[in-house]
Structure 1
Amino acid sequence: MLRLLLLLLAPLLLAATFGPVRPGVPLRFPTDHGAHPDFRTEWWYVTGWLNTAQGRKGFQITFFRTRPDIDTANPSAFVPRQVIFAHAALADPAHGKLRHAARIARAGFGLANARVGDMDVTLDDWRLWRGKDGRLHAKLAGDGFAFDLAFTPTQPVILQGEAGFSRKGPGAGEASHYYSWPHLAVAGRLGGQAVTGTAWLDREWSSTLMNSRAVGWDWLGLNMDDGSAVTLFRMRDKAGAALWAGGSHRSKSGVLSVLKPEDVRWQAGGWWQSPRSKARWPVRPVLALRVGGNWRELPVTPMMADQELDSRMSGGPVYWEGAVTVPGGRGYLELTGYAAPLRM
């Protein structure tokens, strides 16, 4: 999905020439774990569930890179040729709402960088990287939480869409290069406590904004208990109908099914209204996907209703990003455009 950095930096992203997203471009690893600075924006998005002595908790770690529309011939070291932005959050039912933190800085000056060639994104003392042993690592802290986590791959990546070319709308240019890495085994520390768990990595890079008729999107990534993995998304118009939808299902035996718009059904389900923003969020959607001609229904239950993140103080939107379960699995749900239509 076109993640939230586009909202935060939309005033900078005017008419410019960026790298095009094209079908038939093979993804190569480890190179594509790293940054793609010719494209307008990209993100490294890790979500998951942690097992703690106090019960399960959800977490989100997201790093973004964007290339603003500026005069790259300007020799000044202060020109923001690349900007790095990051979000982190902890969902703890005992706390009742998200603990979250955000940072932003231009690349350079030893403050922020997104490495080309392999995964290594830094922002001050926050870092997400791939080690020589092939594991991913994240180390960062916010108010009331601190992550020092390692993610061990147990399955290969999923190339979303057409071998990594993922359409996001009816227009030819509305697409991203997109892969996911489900069923990452988590080990490390949450503050001073040892934790384990499971996680999911989403990686996308793109140079296109959402369709002009879209007001927001919904996205769901699920690690299923049997080892399968499910990705579902839709782009919504102002009437709440899907302008585009898609996703994937990879079976426990490794068979990948790419979902077309007609293979995804998304119903709003139960709603929760925020006492702060007054936005109403469909936090209990009922989803269905068609694989091999057979429909499967997935009713979604949030870990807790209040997983709203209000980033308006930093120029961003109000959105809902939360840990959820379905029968036989768990993952993360992202909802945008319900507090107000997204303007890009």
Structure 2
Amino acid sequence: MRLKVIPVLAALLLSGCAPVQTVVNPAQLPPATDFGAHANPMEWWYVSAYLPAEGLALHWAQFRVQDSRVPVPLMISHVAVTDLRTGQLNFLEQPAGSGEVTSPPLRVRHGAWTLTQAGPEPTAPLSLKAGPLDLTLTPVKGPVLHPPGFSGSADTGVLFYQGITRLDLSGTVNGRAVRGQAWLDHQWGNQIPGRSALWDWFSVHLDGGRDLMVYRVRRPDGSVAQLIGSVVEPDGRVRAVPGLRAEPGEMWTSPTGRPYTLGWRLVSDEFDLSVRAVRREQELLSRSTRIAYWEGPIEVTGTWAATPAAGTGMMELVSGTWSP
């Protein structure tokens, strides 16, 4: 196989030319500490952060794609940094190529971009060096498996879902010293983004130490296949959100004509929260994955157990496939 064919095959797998493979059993859940690589078609590690005091928002995503048409797993990676003071959004991609993942301690490498953990303990600090990012991420809480342990359904494919919802962040972005808090996710399974599933995802650091995750998986026709949410308490305990509803609000159409829901009301038996996008112009068009998605910072206000609540976080809205 010629080398130049490999990026094309990786993009086709991500954008929908490969069938969903039924190799994931949601009845057999992994441990929350399972950060290493797996023998599944799709896997990714993901760090995101909204740093209000710094006027910055960022995310790094490392995909690991496996397909029988390619002899080795392929790595594809993204970094996006938004300067909210200037309105500048920089999106960098590393196209499909070789790399490595080992654990424990966790080490993820694609070219010169690396995520490296300082020791085998699940809460050991991590070093992220990727393009403009040179960051140290120190877990404030331990890893969790988000209830029910996976995202998706039988018809969309399933991704196991675990991570660390709150990490202290320090280091530099584009050479500028920054501090704040970050979120780390790890997912793997047989769900193919853009083809078998789309989604709306929210990660929120609430004042007082709670963390909230909401995940709405959609079929390509727009119908909702799954809605899940989890709360990670200040002491690290994780639990499912009871009676969850996600009500779409304000719509925005990007310059490419794709609609995104940028305003939401998240409601459950214990909270009533409004979600507002800090900045509209956050659509990302990935040449390496051929996926169009919106990724950006959010602010959250409302009530929790009838008392005022507020927080900040990141939102990801996957629109579907696109052709460069």
TM-score past 0.5 threshold: yes
Cα distance in 1 for residues equivalent to 2:295 and 2:59: 8
1:161 aligns with 2:151: no
Cα distance in 1 for residues equivalent to 2:300 and 2:258: 24
* Alignment partner, residue 263 of structure 2: 284
Conserved 8 A contact 1:215-1:342: no
Residue 84 of structure 1: how far off its partner (Å): 0.3
Residue 250 of structure 1: how far off its partner (Å): 2.2
1:273 aligns with 2:253: yes
| CA distance 1:184–1:270, shift in 2 (3 Å) | same
* Alignment partner, residue 242 of structure 1: 224
Alignment map for 1:83-94 (pairs within 5 Å):
83-94=74-85
Alignment map for 1:186-225 (pairs within 5 Å):
186-209=169-192, 216-225=198-207
| CA distance 1:315–1:268, shift in 2 (3 Å) | same
Residue 314 of structure 1: how far off its partner (Å): 3.8
Conserved 8 A contact 1:272-1:305: yes
| CA distance 1:148–1:10, shift in 2 (3 Å) | closer
| CA distance 1:81–1:333, shift in 2 (3 Å) | same
Gaps of 5+ in 1: 71-78
1:332 aligns with 2:323: no
Residue 61 of structure 1: how far off its partner (Å): 0.6
1:42 aligns with 2:29: no
Cα distance in 1 for residues equivalent to 2:244 and 2:221: 18
| CA distance 1:136–1:21, shift in 2 (3 Å) | farther
Cα distance in 1 for residues equivalent to 2:127 and 2:221: 41
| CA distance 1:330–1:12, shift in 2 (3 Å) | closer
Q: Give the % identical residues.
A: 26
TM-score of the pair, normalised by structure 2: 0.83
1:128 aligns with 2:128: no
| CA distance 1:208–1:301, shift in 2 (3 Å) | closer
Residue 262 of structure 2 aligns to a residue whose secondary structure is strand
| CA distance 1:250–1:10, shift in 2 (3 Å) | closer
Gaps of 5+ in 2: 1-8, 302-309
Residue 22 of structure 1: how far off its partner (Å): 3.7
Cα distance in 1 for residues equivalent to 2:137 and 2:102: 19
Residue 230 of structure 2 aligns to a residue whose secondary structure is strand
Conserved 8 A contact 1:136-1:150: yes
| CA distance 1:238–1:192, shift in 2 (3 Å) | closer
Letter in 1 for 2:186: R
Letter in 1 for 2:51: L
How large is the Cα RMSD of the aligned pairs?
A: 2.9
* Alignment partner, residue 129 of structure 2: 139
Letter in 2 for 1:121: V
Residue 269 of structure 1: how far off its partner (Å): 1.1
Aligned length: 304
Cα distance in 1 for residues equivalent to 2:313 and 2:90: 18
Which segments of structure 1 move beyond 6 Å, counting only runs of 4 or more? none
Letter in 2 for 1:94: R
Cα distance in 1 for residues equivalent to 2:263 and 2:161: 26
TM-score of the pair, normalised by structure 1: 0.79
Cα distance in 1 for residues equivalent to 2:27 and 2:157: 12
Alignment map for 1:280-319 (pairs within 5 Å):
280-288=259-267, 290=268, 294-311=269-286, 313-314=287-288, 316-319=290-293
Residue 9 of structure 1 aligns to a residue whose secondary structure is helix
